[in-house]
Amino acid sequence: MAEQMGGLADDRALLGRTSTAERVADILRSRIAEGYFPPGTRLSEDSIGGALGVSRNTLREAFRLLTHERLLVHELNRGVFVRVLTVEDVEDIYRTRRLVECAVVRGLGDPPYALDALAEVVEHGRTAAREGDWKGVGTANIHFHRELVALAASERTDELMRSVFAELRLAFHVVDEPQRLHEPYIARNVGILQALQDGDRDKAETLLAAYLEVSLERVVEVYRRRVGEDGQEGRPVV
């Protein structure tokens, strides 16, 4: 926990002069997605508030926002915890991803497309794989899909999917088999990028839909074994 608080102290400068609950929520959302607070972790108001230099009321409002986003859960007489997703949650996340991501690709319009950011994160993923950094591969993979969604140039879609991708990382942290989970998708990302570079959005959408179907099956298979249907089996004790 001391290491986690040290990381938050580094984020304190991001708050600027006006420490708002939204900014605190942004920082905590990022830290949860990055695995600093794994699923099942109890979040201490005193420790986090002290590290960020914010009031208890501001922090509680940030917790409320993240609870609304389904990243946190408040348990009576126990406190606030990072959520442990259920299998149903994971399935719903992928259902949302398919609806949104495939629609973004389908609605791209005529090529050429602005693919520099997408190509950059593909290369980041390949570099991380060569170095055996499978957590880095997972991060690059999430960034690939974030940049794919960003092609829609819609702030509302970006905001929606930022929360969805943060929830997805909760599932990835529990699965805890990063190489098996992420390695197959390096080539799939390359294929989607290549189709878009060729101006073939129909092929890119087909590849993306297949990608998401296979990914869902793989994640649910391992997740069900490690956590159970209701997110209770194997829950971390903190």
What's the start-to-end Cα distance of the chain, in Å? Answer: 10
Q: Convert the pLDDT of each residue in 103-162 to its tens digit.
A: 999 999 999 999 999 999 999 999 999 999 988 898 899 999 999 999 999 999 999 998
- Cα 97 to Cα 95: distance, rounded to the nearest angstrom: 5
230 and 83 Cβ atoms separated by less than 8 Å: no
- Cα 72 to Cα 29: distance, rounded to the nearest angstrom: 10
Q: Which residues of 192-219 are buried (b: 16+ CB within 10 A; e: fewer)?
A: bbebbeeeebebbbebbeebbeebbebb
Q: Report the percentage of the chain scoring pLDDT > 90.
A: 66
Vertex 10: Cα angle to 150 and 144 (nearest 5):
20
